[in-house]
Each structure stands twice: as C-alpha cells, then as structure tokens.
Copies of this chain bind each other. A is one copy, B any other.
Amino acid sequence: MDLDFTPAELAFRDEVRAFFAKTVPAEWLTRVRAGLRLEPAELIAYQKALAAKGWGAPTWPVEYGGPGWTPAQNYIFESESARAGAPIQFHQGLELIGPIIFTYGSQELKDRYLPGIINADDWWCQGYSEPGAGSDLASLRTTAVRDGDHYVLNGQKMWTSYAQVASHMFVLARTSQEPKRQQGISLLLVDMKTPGIAIRKIETMDEKYTTNEVFLDDVRVPVTNLVGTEGKGWEYGKVLLDRERMVCSATAIHLPQVLDGVRDAARARKIGGVPLIETPAFAAQLAQLEIEAMALETMVLRLLADLASGADSGPRGSMVKLRWSDLYQRATALWMDALGPEAAHFRALEGEGPADMPYGMQGALYSRVTSIYGGSSEIQHNIIARRALGL
C-alpha cells in the first residue's frame, strides 16, 4: 500500500504541468474556480489544444485516438488540470456518446464521428430526458418510425444542454411499443441541421443559457445513424448513465479549484478590519470543507486504483457524485458568505463595473442543479441501496 508515483509517473506529471502552464489563459481562472463552464468557443479552443497534443480523449483506448493512459495518469492529468486552473473538458461527446459509438457503433459511425469528437469539430448534445421522463427515463415517449432508409422522429426532449450550439444530438426514441417499458428504445445520431428540429431556451436560475427543450417534428434520420441494434438503446443508455457518474471523478478532482476561490474571496474581504479568512468561525468552516474534500479526493484515488486493478467500482461512482455535489454546494454557499453585502451586486444596472458578476454567487446558483442532473441525489441513494447494500 502506498501513495507514491513511479518515476515515469513523475516525469509524466512534469510534462502535463508544462503543457498546462502554456495552454491555460489567466482569464479563465475566475469562472473555472466557481465551477462554471467556459463559453463554447473557449471550450472548443481548449479541446483543440489537447487534441493537437494527442491528449484529446484521455480515457479512450489507443485504437480510437486515446493516449492509452493508466488510471494513475488520468488522475495526474486531471489534478494538474485543476492545479493550473484549466476547465473540465466538455463531456457529452467525449464521455457520453463517444464511448458508446466505439463500443456498439458500426465501423462507418466510428470513422465518421470519433475524430470529430476528439478534434472538437463536432459538438454533441444529449436528447434523453423528456417532460414526463426525468429520473424515470424508461417512460420516454419520443417515437422513431421506420420509413424506408430513414427513421422519422417525433417528440419532445428536455434539459438538452447546449442544443443551441451543438452540431449533433444523440437521441433515445421508441422504435416499438413493448410491454416492458425498457424495451423497444433505440439510440440514434441526429444532425442538428436536419429539418424539423426546433429549440426553445429554458431559463434557469443561474441566468446562464445552457439548456433547452428540443422539439422533434418529422425529423428524418438515416437508418445508418442507428447505434447498435434497434430496440436495444436502453442498454446503451444505462452504460451512458454509468459513465455520466464516472465523469464525476474528474469533476471531484477539480473541487480544490473552488476552495481556492473561496479562500481568495475570504482573504480579500475584511470584517472589522481583519481578513475574514483569519476569523476562527470562517476558518473552521473552510477547514471542514477542505477536510471533506481530502476524503473525497482519496475516495477517487481508490476508485482509480480499483479501475487499474480491474476491480468493480460498483456504486462508488454514485458515492463520489453525491459527495461532490454536496461539497460544491456548500463551498459556493461559503463563497457567497465571503462576498458579504456585495453578494447582492449581481449585475450592474448601468455601465460595466468590475463587480458586475461575482462568480462565486453564480456558482452558488449553478451548484443547485448538480444534485439534480445526471441522476439526482435521491436516485443515487436508491442505486447504492440496491446495488451495494442489497436493500
């Protein structure tokens, strides 16, 4: 048992560190620290820089363009990324549909779509949730009816993040009605330029435009864009849900960025002339979060070590998701405390002062969705109770 890196891993760390030192612009830092996503154009530029280095798809197998890293290398990559204030890679192509395409897709689909994901030429969005099918995805109602060489899609998708900038969407739709609700669902790849697709912005409480309703009205998709076997989409979907949780390990590794943000805000603010960070009550609250973040980081290390040894991580991914969203919410709430009365100065009504956007405040708003998306905290509890505890 040890926590040490091998000499080769240490050399790799230096290489990664050097790469980030020259790749990450300083102006990303404030937003990244608040746990906020960068603008699509920035994320695309970042992804292209990674791809140019051969690091575009850190978790993919070599044959599909991955670097062939060990879990330890993946950890080093993510922790150096966090250390440098780099963002988390946009994951819907890389971690959600990409792995499904290379696992279940035809050679044609692999050739067509995998390079575009790595090079950020394509931007993918996810068409899963529906107004009546959130946590209970199996009750989805969007239909895909075969008509010659096409499927014709009709229905309505919800919570489709970045549909407004995406070039492609992967969609779960019903290709037949079966008694068991999980059957008869297929996975289709859709070009967002196809006629019949309409988007309605969903206003969210963080005042950022990220998510949408997507209306599908006789949208014709070539049958060659079916992934895997017709009617088996649910199984691929479940794999997706699993990977969506795995992504949280990377997210968890970036948690110290948020704590850095809190710390800086508390250094900047004075109370009675004393920096907030030096007041015992605040220091104890921050310490509690740092301690829990250390526990989370170590849970992730153990998860990655299990991955390396081929052990089943089971619902430990769900545990990481739960702990991370809780800590992120509490950290941004503490950040908001650190802003003091200025937390109320969200937008300047005239002009553009430097204080027109306290990012910690926006992080505090955004954080509320992290215990809802990707399987809510309640669903994660159900999953762990069933899978790990046998209840």
Binding site for B on A (CB under 8 A): 279-281, 284
The 5 closest A-B pairs by CB, nearest first: A280-B280, A281-B284, A280-B281, A281-B281, A279-B280
A280: B residues at CB distance < 8 A: 279-281
Q: Chain A at the B interface: mostly helix, strand, loop or mixed?
A: helix
Indicate how many identical chains form the complex.
Answer: 2
A279: B residues at CB distance < 8 A: 280
Closest to A284 in B: B281
Considering the chains assembled together, what is the distance between the CA atoms of A281 and B280 in angstroms?
A: 7
Q: What are 5 A-B contacts defined by CB distance under 8 Å?
A: A279-B280, A280-B280, A280-B281, A281-B281, A281-B284
Considering the chains assembled together, what is the distance between the CA atoms of A284 and B280 in angstroms?
A: 10
State how many angstroms separate the Cβ of A365 from the closest Cβ of chain B.
Answer: 26
A281: B residues at CB distance < 8 A: 280-281, 284
A284: B residues at CB distance < 8 A: 281
Considering the chains assembled together, what is the distance between the CA atoms of A116 and B280 in angstroms?
A: 56
State how many angstroms separate the Cβ of A95 from the closest Cβ of chain B.
Answer: 37
Considering the chains assembled together, what is the distance between the CA atoms of A95 and B170 in angstroms?
A: 65
State how many angstroms separate the Cβ of A289 from the closest Cβ of chain B.
Answer: 15
Closest to A282 in B: B280
Considering the chains assembled together, what is the distance between the CA atoms of A281 and B281 in angstroms?
A: 6
State how many angstroms separate the Cβ of A286 from the closest Cβ of chain B.
Answer: 13
State how many angstroms separate the Cβ of A87 from the closest Cβ of chain B.
Answer: 36
State how many angstroms separate the Cβ of A288 from the closest Cβ of chain B.
Answer: 11
State how many angstroms separate the Cβ of A281 from the closest Cβ of chain B.
Answer: 5
Considering the chains assembled together, what is the distance between the CA atoms of A244 and B284 in angstroms?
A: 40
